[in-house]
Amino acid sequence: MARFASEVGERVRRRRKALGLSRARLSTLCGLSEDFIGLIERGVSVPGSDSLVRLADALRVPADALRPVLVQGSSGVEAHSHRIASADEHVCLLL
């Protein structure tokens, strides 16, 4: 779970920085506390579904873009990274 939390936090931080947002500004946009966002970015806390959707909306990405893919490996479940588009890229999801 620690790997999952740190990967979610890394995705939030990368996207926030790509958009040029401070934690304070992201806090205002999504309605979550600046302290909570810091805990998420450091991988100390994992946002619940509602918080993840609020973060994703503020960061202008689908919520799934902030979640790593979990894969069952020989050593257990692992989080795998997938690159998040930069602020200048457009993302097309095929379902």
Q: What is the pLDDT of residues 16-68, one digit of tens each?
A: 999 999 999 999 999 999 999 999 999 999 999 999 999 999 999 999 999 88
The residue-averaged pLDDT of 74-92 equals 46
The burial of 66, by beta-carbon neighbours within 10 Å (0-12 exposed, 13-18 middle, 19 or more buried), is given as buried
Q: What is the pLDDT of residue 69?
A: 73
Contacts of 12 (CB under 8 A, 6+ apart): 37, 40, 41, 55, 59, 66
**82 pLDDT exceeds 80?**
no
- Give the pLDDT confidence score for residue 73 in this predicted structure: 56
